Structure 1
Amino acid sequence: MSIENEVIVRIHDASRQKYPLQKITGNIALSSMIDLIHSVNLDANPRLAKTGRVTQDIQESLVNESEIFQFMTKGILIAASEVEELDRSRFRLRFEEPQLEGILDGGHNTLAAGRQILLDVLTAELGAEEAESLLKAIKTWESLKTAWETHHVLLVKHKDEITKALMPIEVIFPGDGQAGYEYFQEKVLVINAARNNNAELTVEAKQNKRGYYGEIRSNLDSKLIDEVEWKTNDGGRIKVRDLVALALVPLSVLPFNALNPISNNPSILFSSKGQCIKIYSDLLTEGGVTEKVTGDIIQIVDSSIKSALALMKDMPKLFDLIYQEMPKAYNSTGGRFGKIDHVLMASDGKKLRTRYYRNPVEYSYGEGYIYPLVYALSALIKNDDGKLSWKTDPEKFIRSRLGDIMKSFYSMIQGQNFDPAKVGKAGGAYNLARDMFAAAYKDEILKLHGLA
């Protein structure tokens, strides 16, 4: 049985280790995973499971090698805030912090086991053909959880039809007393990172797990939040590293040592997203920038950085706008944007769209053309004693002044033989664009006061 934040599981061959952290190891029957999958989540796991060759192999092994499956895999690692030993090899697991507790490792094992369990019970109820058809739609952890709720009655009804296999399980939980719980909170993320330390897990996923991107996420347009791949394998079309590169534009206005590489070489915004991630990480490790919330999970407390990241509500929209307006601005100089070899025009029936909001555009081209212009938005940001804001409406500025700016920026594109990759890597392009934005804004102010 399970109720909200707890679940009772039967662990065969259970053994217990008592240290400052405690651990129970053993094996759990697939049929005993019904309540476990119903109750736990993958919030604590920095990557989300999805179907693929790995899950397919696991599922085949569950069926074809069921007698020895527990010797073929590491199984599932679970963290719980409290474990109570009951009778008949049963244990009550309680969960309090979903970001720390639940399945830390073994998400693919759990997904594969869940799919096999569903296949078994649906086959018993509906027949093999319809069961296979329904299973095709279950490709992610979220779709598994949805199916679990939909078919829960059948899971209980046909429990005896589930493949007879054992899944290794480890449960880590606090030692005795408040000190034991605090130690658990401190070390669970370390264990989490170590267990997931492989090529499939990105630096961004690990940092997201620690709360590095919470401030970016909270300021992002709600339309985009679910489109971002915050965790490895969660399928988001927008990459965190692209958002971090955008965030470094307003952040570059601030006088932090970690941000010096942006001022010295702004082309890394385009050419080295990995370096952008490192710079952002270094920034968050400077003194007074963050504080720990739970265990090693942090939150940003520096008001100037929070102020800079508040502008992330605008940055993706402005990126898309520059991408949309670039061809028109280029053509206003007398050039013919569609004739550039590196530019693709939309053909009949083909839709070209911007990166973030998927707005329709007439041309597709390398983003190296616009990254210097995106960086130049920093010239429109006012730093009033650590409180950042736009000096002028950036959207109106782009629409009204990009054509004038392009009269000078055109020479930079031409000088790089119209190659967007070369433009995006040219440090001079960023400095020129920023100077042109600053000059255009100054011109606006002079006109406003009748001085130009």
Structure 2
Amino acid sequence: MNIVLKIQDAARQTSKLNKLLGTVSLTSMIDLLSSAGLEANPRLSKVSRVTDDIEESLAKEPEIFHFMSKGILVAASTVEELDRSRFRLEFDDPDLEGILDGGHNSLAAGRFILRKALAVRHGEEKADAMMRPLKTWEKFKSAWTDNLDLVREEKAAIPEIRMPIEVIYPSDDTEGFAYFQEKVLAINAARNNNAELTAEARANKLGYYDEIKAALDPALVTEVEWKTNDGGRIKVRELVALSLIPLSKIEIKETEQVRRSPTVIFSSKGQCVDLYDKLMAADGVAQETKGNIVEVVDPKVKSALALMKDMPRLFDLVYKLLPEGYNKAGGRFGKIDGVRMAADGKVLKSHYYREPISYSYGDGFMYPLVFGLSSLMRNTDDGVTWITDPDAFIKKNMPTIMKSFYAMIAGVNFDPAKVGKSGGAYNLACDLVAAAYKDELLRQHGIV
């Protein structure tokens, strides 16, 4: 993929990495926004006070906008100088190249351009109405693509406004491209630190979550907020916390804290992200493929993460069946403070698969039971596997397990947060699951 940009007042800085600096007009940015996108930027932009201020500056201070903005930072594998201040930029790898920093500037400029083109065709009032829903990069990009022919036709309506631009690209020597691949993500992360780039976004960019993505039910992959502000309803840190359950079966230093204090999967998702990052950075777990992007190579870690195809489904199943088991144990789940019941037209849905459920309640009640499913996992030379069908086990044994776990809930005055933060609840859940499985084996052999 390549584009040609007219870069005014271009200046070069050469070193082990090369940099091209200058300004581009908004009309020149059309091809950049259409081709390079924000694929290399780990933080997807959305409409906010920042973008509103940028759009206002574009409208009210067009002559000095390039003095008011830091502009955009672009990485390209090749930069070729043409005539008349034009440069050909080639983008070979969307994981590393494209717009590294300046997502808000890119979104604001794109919205400004699109609004101008729509106003020519439909009038100012209708153009404003059409722009109003385009509050995320994803929604904007869809509308941009649909109207790209119109944008190109109405270039004359776009004011002559200049945007500062920096282009990073490899040097021409034999080691230049390897060095570029190695350093571009570090530059990416450093530039985005000022924008509160989350640990999850950095880890996603480094490929730490690719194995989870590969194992996850495809129906859920697009529902996850892998990048900050990309609109997914499922937070990636929730999946990371669930992944630590099968990973805790691997007795290595990086998973020891989860075995010692499993409450972390409920009470500190941020700490879960840190533990997972340390695991991915441990010797032998993953190896670099390009730049700093890694892939998991440790077979046991791969096998544990493969169980992520099951964990969200089992989370929902435990959540759904716990109240029924509680009631069979003699309690009245609907009477607990904070518990909501699906009644009078209320529709309650499970967290991951959005299936109908009868009760909504604090996750602390059931996180120990989800962790307890680790008692149904075995760590062998071949990796981490289930020793029995977990879905069938939960459906059959939840009432039995709840006969004892009921006392744990009652013992903390029915407070889900206290259950979720109680190490004893996790130990009890593991023991109850293990005992129920042992009883199943005994029954299968006719011993009980």
TM-score by length of 2: 0.98
Q: Distance in 2 between matches of 1:34 and 1:54?
A: 21
Alpha-carbon contact 2:138-2:230 (below 8 Å) kept: no
Q: Distance in 2 between matches of 1:396 and 1:228?
A: 27
In structure 2, which of residues 340, 348, 355 is the aligned counterpart of residue 344 of structure 1? 340
Alpha-carbon contact 1:12-1:28 (below 8 Å) kept: yes
- 1:376 pairs with 2:372: yes
Counterpart in the other structure of 1:333: 329
In structure 2, which of residues 417, 422, 445 is the aligned counterpart of residue 426 of structure 1? 422
Percent identical: 58
Counterpart in the other structure of 2:112: 116
Worse-superposed segment, 124-133 or 309-318: 124-133
Alpha-carbon contact 2:189-2:197 (below 8 Å) kept: no
Q: Distance in 2 between matches of 1:198 and 1:219?
A: 33
Alpha-carbon contact 1:189-1:295 (below 8 Å) kept: yes
Counterpart in the other structure of 1:298: 294
Q: Distance in 1 between matches of 2:444 and 2:431?
A: 20
- 1:78 pairs with 2:74: yes
Counterpart in the other structure of 1:101: 97
- 1:163-182 per-residue CA deviation (whole Å, 9 max, x = no partner) reads 22111000000011230000
Displacement of 1:142 in angstroms is 2.4
Counterpart in the other structure of 2:231: 235
Alpha-carbon contact 1:120-1:163 (below 8 Å) kept: no
Counterpart in the other structure of 1:56: 52
- 1:202-252 per-residue CA deviation (whole Å, 9 max, x = no partner) reads 100010000000000100001100000000000111001100110011111
Q: Distance in 1 between matches of 2:5 and 2:195?
A: 32
Alpha-carbon contact 1:254-1:386 (below 8 Å) kept: no
Query: What is the RMSD of the two structures over their aligned residues, measured on CA atoms?
Result: 1.0
- 1:448 pairs with 2:444: yes
Alpha-carbon contact 2:408-2:419 (below 8 Å) kept: yes
Counterpart in the other structure of 1:283: 279
Displacement of 1:152 in angstroms is 2.1
Alpha-carbon contact 2:300-2:383 (below 8 Å) kept: yes
In structure 2, which of residues 351, 354, 358 is the aligned counterpart of residue 355 of structure 1? 351
Q: Distance in 1 between matches of 2:338 and 2:149?
A: 57
- Aligned to 2:84, the other structure's residue is in SS state coil
- 1:281-315 per-residue CA deviation (whole Å, 9 max, x = no partner) reads 11112111100011000110000000001000000
Q: Distance in 1 between matches of 2:195 and 2:3?
A: 32
* Structure 1 moving runs of 4+ over 6 Å: none
Amino acid at match of 1:233: N
Displacement of 1:274 in angstroms is 1.0
Displacement of 1:386 in angstroms is 4.0
Amino acid at match of 2:57: S
- Aligned to 1:164, the other structure's residue is in SS state coil
Counterpart in the other structure of 1:180: 176
Counterpart in the other structure of 1:26: 22
Counterpart in the other structure of 1:145: 141
Listed as ranges, the matches of 1:200-219 within 5 Å are 200-219=196-215
In structure 2, which of residues 403, 416, 431 is the aligned counterpart of residue 407 of structure 1? 403
- Aligned to 2:352, the other structure's residue is in SS state coil
- 1:28-69 per-residue CA deviation (whole Å, 9 max, x = no partner) reads 111111111111121111111111221111111101011111
Displacement of 1:385 in angstroms is 1.1
Q: Distance in 1 between matches of 2:290 and 2:174?
A: 14
- 1:316 pairs with 2:312: yes
Q: Distance in 1 between matches of 2:393 and 2:55?
A: 56
Amino acid at match of 2:135: K
Displacement of 1:199 in angstroms is 5.4
Amino acid at match of 1:260: E
Worse-superposed segment, 387-396 or 81-90: 387-396
Q: Distance in 1 between matches of 2:266 and 2:212?
A: 19
- Aligned to 1:352, the other structure's residue is in SS state coil
Counterpart in the other structure of 1:392: 388
- Aligned to 2:193, the other structure's residue is in SS state coil
Q: Distance in 1 between matches of 2:195 and 2:446?
A: 60
TM-score by length of 1: 0.97
Q: Distance in 2 between matches of 1:37 and 1:173?
A: 18
Displacement of 1:143 in angstroms is 2.5
Displacement of 1:153 in angstroms is 2.2
- Aligned to 1:389, the other structure's residue is in SS state strand
Q: Distance in 2 between matches of 1:209 and 1:127?
A: 41
- Aligned to 1:26, the other structure's residue is in SS state strand
- 1:401-421 per-residue CA deviation (whole Å, 9 max, x = no partner) reads 011011111111111111000
- 1:70-128 per-residue CA deviation (whole Å, 9 max, x = no partner) reads 11111000000000001111000000110000000011111110111011111112211
Q: Distance in 2 between matches of 1:306 and 1:321?
A: 24
- 1:44 pairs with 2:21: no
Counterpart in the other structure of 1:162: 158
Q: Report the count of equivalent residues.
A: 448
Q: Distance in 2 between matches of 1:350 and 1:59?
A: 41
Q: Distance in 2 between matches of 1:178 and 1:43?
A: 27
